[in-house]
Amino acid sequence: MSERKIRVLVGKPGLDGHDRGAKVVAAALRDAGMEVIYTGLHQTPDQIVNAAVQEDVDVVALSILSGAHMTLFPRVLELLREAGADHVLLTGGGIISSEDMEKLQAMGVGRLFGPGTPTADAISYIREWFAEQRAREDEA
């Protein structure tokens, strides 16, 4: 029996109109065998979480270059929890200082990636996270 594909929603929240990186990451995840849903530009946290719940994703990956990461990541995390989707990994990247990355991770956001990070790093991280989740489910 084959393993089910990892389902990832790539979101571009806020007013940032630069989505080249998000599209590159989405294509790399797809090429790595994951199912990818790309929400497009200018999405609200509510729209992203609604899509994540409707699509039953394993991972939400946000691309934020606008500097609003300390507002948008916590809001999406809060909405995921409110929707009963706290099992979903929230990860992503953008122009985020290491200090802010640490603060976000302390809140429950997964690993974050900066500009120039090889897409293979994000793919490996998501695969490892997913494998750990599957192992936990099998133990339960």
Residue 67: which CATH number? 3.40.50.280
Question: Into how many domains does the chain fold?
Answer: 1
The parent domain of residue 36 ranges over: 7-139
User: Is residue 118 assigned to a domain?
Assistant: yes
From CA 140, how far away is CA 126, in angstroms rounded?
21
Contact 103, 51 (CB under 8 A): no
Residues of the chain with pLDDT under 50: 1
User: Is residue 125 assigned to a domain?
Assistant: yes
By C-alpha distance, which of 93, 62, 98 is closest to 77?
A: 62
Q: Return phi, psi of residue 90, to 5°.
A: -105, 115
What residues contact 59, with CB distance under 8 A and at least 6 apart? 6, 7, 8, 9, 88, 89, 90, 91, 126, 129, 130
User: Is residue 1 assigned to a domain?
Assistant: no
Q: Return phi, psi of residue 57, to 5°.
A: -85, 160
